[in-house]
Structure 1
Amino acid sequence: MYTYMEYLQKCFYKSTNWNEDNIFSNITATSQAILEFPIPNGFKIDSSSKTTDYSASSFTLSNNHQINGSLAYLYSSVPLKNTMGTKDVSLQDAIAGFRIIEPMVRLQPKFNNKAPHSKSSLLYGRMYFPGSALEAMIIKRISENTQLLIKCVNNPHLSKNGTMIVYLQNNTAKYSREFIYSTNESLIGLRCLYNLGTPTSSSTVSSFNPRTIPKFDNSVVSIGTELWFATRSMSPGLSGALRYSTRSTSTGKPLTMTLAINPILGHISSTYTVKTSVASTFCSRYDFNVFSYASNLSLGFELYSYANKKRSDFYNHEIYSSSEENKYLKQHPELQKHHRVPIRAYKHHDNRTIINPIHNLDNVYHINPTLLSTTSGSGHTSETVTTAFQNLVNESDFSSVLKFSTSLNDKVVKILWEGRLRDFLVSTGVKLSLNPVTNTPEFNKLGISFSYAL
């Protein structure tokens, strides 16, 4: 679960059209969210408030062997009007999970020159107690595609009482570049990510003809690398990664595959993540070392639960009521008795109207061939199905999510439940491992955290 400050940072990126998925460090973010999710340790409560559209504060208190706390502040030069509190926020926005990688879109130059957020900035600071540990972050947008990110940590337990990392990031539809410098070991780094294919213009997206778009436009292939060099210890670092993300043209379900290689350490890691339904995701990862021949297989899944267990009978349709349908029922109480909502027509970008092209709008997605064109508009069919699936995921009203991951070689099992309890977001989980001596399971982590934000 994201902290409230992390959530505001993501809203800042969305408000300023900054694509996080186009950064090399996030190339395996989907598999990490399902396999390497953190488990709360002890008891923790977080209370946050957005005083204005430009500023917010957060207070955290935890009890893990001793009482600790922190106080944080955030300021944004861009009004964060698209944020919500823990009572109304969607779980898809509050919890790290499957990321749908969108095809590349190049903004028009005239839009870039007049963009009001081309010089936007974000300031963040946190103070921990007891003790004198501090952390800060500055995000300064230099241009529409370039920003400066500075992270600082001040802690008496660190070498020279702290460290600072500077990122100069350039993010475009075709590629992204990062120049990194850290005061720790005087580390210098370079990250690059290149997207194969030709980016689509934003004007083309708003007025495209689906017959002219091939099916592979739903796929995104990205290849990247990172180079590191510690000037003090004269130690180099090198790694590369490949990501392939696509969506099925028949069901609209997305999947992501990645391959990461570290030639210096001889480590190879491959992942496969697929959204098997609107409310479930499965992920697998295989790690192998060419020097030691050590290998490991990790498996994980996440399963969402709907807030409203009653299904809505859409004549021949059977889906869980999304937030949009719930709003419609509130406006028309006479329909609540039978839980029936009229089927709304889907309007495509070229102003053609399609009346419900999906026969059974459930997690399986059965296609009704009598309602789909069998002529040259096959590209239109695939575009409609993928859009319908994504809209259904975004509009679904979920109340909780259950995450599970295990590793065969490490013999570790992690279980995490995150959901909404009244006005709070709750996260609780456990981490179990097998004792190598007694071969009995033992608890490594066990905790619960509460988050409240206005």
Structure 2
Amino acid sequence: MRDFMDYIQLAFYDASKWNRDNSYSQLTTTANALLDFSTPERLKVNLSSLSTPHFATTYTLGTVGLIDGSISYLFTTIPLHDTPSRSTLIPLRKLVPGYRQIYPPSLPPVFPAADGRDGDLAIGDTKGELKKKATLLHATLHLPPPTTLTGSFLRRLSPTTQLSLAFCSSRAPASKSAPQATTDNALFGFKGLWNFGPDPRKQNQNERDPAREPCRSLLSLLSAGGEVYYSPVSSVVGLSTGLRFTTLPAATENPHSTFPYTLTLTLTPLTGSMSTTYSLLASPNLAFSSRFGFNVYSWESEMVAGCELWRRSKKLHTLQRNSSLLFAVDDLTWARRKMGLPDAAVSVHPERDDLPDIQRDDHHTHHHHPQSPHASDSVIKVRVDQSWNIRALWEGRVKELVVSAGVALGPTSRSSLSYASPVAASGPGAAGGLSSYGWKSVGVSVLYSS
């Protein structure tokens, strides 16, 4: 489950119209959400609030074995009026990352002003008054001592450029008095992602020219990217490349279309590692993913499989039938027809602004409707690898709280401090020197926001 501050930061991206999917760092987002999700390891409580459209706070307290916490503050120049902040109103799909549908490249939108309006006034109006550009400031103080302060700074410089800065400051030991500074070995890097297909700028020109036919909608998208970094201090060089092939929402208009899926291939030539992932959205509420990794130098391999299942209560289904709405993801009208759902259902993308009037009214009049249609949503995630390391996660709402409960199971060593149950010496873990299989971690995380 995402932290409340991460949720607000994603809302900032949406409000500033920044396409975060068009980045090499997001190449394997879907597979990571289905296979690499983390489970709580202890009891954790989060109290958050979006007190004003520009300011948010979060207080975190963790216990069981180790007591720690953090205090976070966030400020943005763009007002987040349409961002639900109450834990009973936040769509759970925005807090729980899952299968993410990629959309075709498009022209950069008009640069947004700090007051939320669109147009060239974001850069400067006719009167010569310079408008503030979209900016986000975020800082977190981790407690108890030795305290650590982390923070980030985001600023939209142009419709296609965004500046991102991050810092981390730790308290030095009491025996040291000399100031120190570090930049992580002076690491320099570059990453990029390129999409194959029609140029949206040329497509926009064709649409303006009546003598030319507009380009046909893309049914799939192939993207290639890479990353390289170098440290002159430690003489470390890194290189990675990747490919991504995914179906697009336009493919759902074809009655013979297959289920939405995403394929990725990543290579790290210097270490000899390669990894392939395959993610499939079998229905609006069910997704599968698998990953196979291999190292050509050590001949080691990795296989991981996972899935997620979204569930809704009967009360929510009744509400959806009465309002003729189906709160699902990513324009899956064809999939709902295969499942026998009514064609009158409206597909709603969880992170777009083109919401139906009923849902939009809930955002502005949530004080009259204490429970949103997402109030009873819950999700179950399970993943397993070739070593039988199993993680299971349940996330949903309990009253006005968003609860995340998870458990991790797997082979453990004899000296491991876990709730492991011994097995026979001839069991599957005996050959590798592991004599037990049991609990690795159990935890619960609770979020309340206002």
| TM-score normalised to structure 2 length | 0.75
Q: Does the residue aligned with 2:438 lie in a helix, a strand or coil?
A: strand
Say if 1:91 and 1:399, in contact at 8 Å, map to a contact too.
yes
* Equivalent position of 1:371 in the other structure: none
Matches within 5 A, 1:60-209: 60-84=60-84, 85-107=86-108, 113-115=120-122, 119-131=133-145, 132-156=147-171, 183-200=183-200
- Structure 1 Cα separation of the partners of residues 82 and 35 of structure 2: 29
Q: How many residues align?
A: 379
* Equivalent position of 1:272 in the other structure: 278
Deviation for aligned residue 1:220 = 1.7
1:417 aligns with 2:394: yes
* Equivalent position of 1:449 in the other structure: 445
Change (3 A) 1:25 1:108: closer
Q: Does the residue aligned with 1:20 lie in a helix, a strand or coil?
A: coil
1:4 aligns with 2:4: yes
Q: Which amino acid aligns with 1:128?
A: H
Q: Which amino acid aligns with 1:87?
A: T
* Equivalent position of 1:241 in the other structure: 242
Give CA-to-partner distance per residue, 1:63-93, whole Å, 9 cap, x none. 1412111111100000011221210111111
Q: Does the residue aligned with 1:119 lie in a helix, a strand or coil?
A: coil
Q: Does the residue aligned with 1:51 lie in a helix, a strand or coil?
A: strand
Deviation for aligned residue 1:364 = 2.9
1:305 aligns with 2:311: yes
Say if 2:48 and 2:449, in contact at 8 Å, map to a contact too.
yes
- Structure 1 Cα separation of the partners of residues 10 and 377 of structure 2: 21
Q: Which amino acid aligns with 1:14?
A: D
- Structure 1 Cα separation of the partners of residues 242 and 259 of structure 2: 23
- Structure 2 Cα separation of the partners of residues 304 and 206 of structure 1: 40
Q: Which amino acid aligns with 2:244?
A: R
Gaps of 5+ in 1: 165-182, 313-320, 329-340, 344-356, 369-384
1:440 aligns with 2:436: yes
Over the aligned positions, Cα root-mean-square deviation in angstroms equals 3.5
Change (3 A) 1:451 1:235: same
Give CA-to-partner distance per residue, 1:35-85, whole Å, 9 cap, x none. 000111110000011111000111100014121111111000000112212
Change (3 A) 1:207 1:2: farther
- Structure 2 Cα separation of the partners of residues 277 and 207 of structure 1: 37
Say if 1:267 and 1:290, in contact at 8 Å, map to a contact too.
yes
- Structure 2 Cα separation of the partners of residues 282 and 205 of structure 1: 39
Give CA-to-partner distance per residue, 1:376-420, whole Å, 9 cap, x none. xxxxxxxxx9x9666599988461000000111x33100000011
- Structure 1 Cα separation of the partners of residues 162 and 377 of structure 2: 36
Which has a greater percent of strand? 1
Say if 1:35 and 1:299, in contact at 8 Å, map to a contact too.
yes
Give CA-to-partner distance per residue, 1:16-52, whole Å, 9 cap, x none. 0111111111111110011000111110000011111
Q: Which amino acid aligns with 2:144?
A: P
- Structure 2 Cα separation of the partners of residues 342 and 188 of structure 1: 49
Change (3 A) 1:70 1:162: farther
- Structure 2 Cα separation of the partners of residues 143 and 422 of structure 1: 43
Give CA-to-partner distance per residue, 1:243-274, whole Å, 9 cap, x none. 11104533574211100000000001000001
| TM-score normalised to structure 1 length | 0.75
- Structure 2 Cα separation of the partners of residues 46 and 434 of structure 1: 31
Change (3 A) 1:254 1:96: same
Q: Which amino acid aligns with 2:160?
A: N
Say if 1:54 and 1:75, in contact at 8 Å, map to a contact too.
yes
